[in-house]
Structure 1
């Protein structure tokens, strides 16, 4: 304080030299002192309230950041799980497609083989379809019949006369052709 006063005196009133400064403690009346202390208490309470508010705001901001971080983490995990499920489904789908292609190729091969077999059987049957073969089958069918009836009217009931007539005509032609070929 002495230096501050001396600086001002040297500038504004040269020649004055301050040797010492004495400060006495003033006597403050009790009402003013109480009023001052109350004001200081109020100011301290306000500062404490402001600091508490800042702390609460910082805690809320921290909680908000933590919640956002946790939500992002959950979203990322969910996204990864969803991608994993999609990849699994895609893998199963591709595997099913391959199995379907294998099954289709196998069934096509079986169908082609069956068609070829039936085609060859039809060709063989066409070659076998001769009057002699038909005659043999007719005789075998008659011979397989376990019941044989004799008489004039019974063949009318069991055999179609056209078949029997055609068969007998064919038989007589074959016999006559054989006789001509032997002569």
Structure 2
């Protein structure tokens, strides 16, 4: 068995008996098949089995103990890998949970920001609507007063006031005309005179409150009052 001798010569007992023993069968089969292909073509090696070499009992026990320790070491390493894998799994799970919580918090924060912005926009729109309503109301009131003032300006003309003056004079009981009277004389009871004077005073005060045009009209009313005897 040249191959076995060669293999054992280049390896120590530890390698032959433990470390590389599981490779001897396959290596020996390959070497035999290579020789058969040269010396006896057509023959094929199906399988090769090599028993462990016989060694002194003391050495064998030592190697068995070493094998047992090696097995324990492998078991410990595998257990450690399992523990590390479990720890890694727990760590990844914790990271996933933390990221999930952070994402939920971020979504809630973004939602609150959007709600605040929506409320702010709604408040601004309501303020603008209120301002527009108040402005429209003020513009309407100003336009109404402006139109009323324009109507009064057009109505209370000197001709109109003159007409009203004559209408007021014509409502007296008696009017006397004559060449000896400067213009006219109105004869009525003193009580009627007092009432007419009071009415003219009211008209004068009302016209005086309408500005420059009203002041002019009030002056005309005072002139009419002078025609009424006290």
TM-score by length of 1: 0.51
1: CA distance, partners of 2:97 / 2:203: 91
Q: How many angstroms does 1:45 deviate by?
A: 1.6
Which ranges in structure 1 are unaligned for 5 or more consecutive residues?
A: 15-22, 141-169
Aligned counterpart, 2:201 = 136
2: CA distance, partners of 1:40 / 1:133: 138
2: CA distance, partners of 1:32 / 1:124: 136
Aligned counterpart, 1:20 = none
Aligned counterpart, 2:110 = 83
Over the aligned positions, Cα root-mean-square deviation in angstroms equals 4.8
C-alpha change, 1:95 and 1:26, in structure 2 (3 Å) is: closer
Aligned counterpart, 2:87 = 60
Q: 2:101 aligns with which of 47, 63, 74?
A: 74
Deviation string for 1:1-32 (max 9, x for gaps)?
8x969769879999xxxxxxxx9998765533
1: CA distance, partners of 2:51 / 2:151: 141
Q: How many angstroms does 1:64 deviate by?
A: 2.2
Q: How many angstroms does 1:105 deviate by?
A: 1.0
What is the number of equivalent residue pairs in this alignment? 138
Aligned counterpart, 2:130 = 103
Q: How many angstroms does 1:72 deviate by?
A: 2.3
Deviation string for 1:98-136 (max 9, x for gaps)?
2111110121123223434555469859x69x9x99961
Q: How many angstroms does 1:33 deviate by?
A: 3.9
Q: How many angstroms does 1:77 deviate by?
A: 1.7
Q: How many angstroms does 1:71 deviate by?
A: 2.3
1: CA distance, partners of 2:51 / 2:135: 119
Aligned counterpart, 2:62 = 35
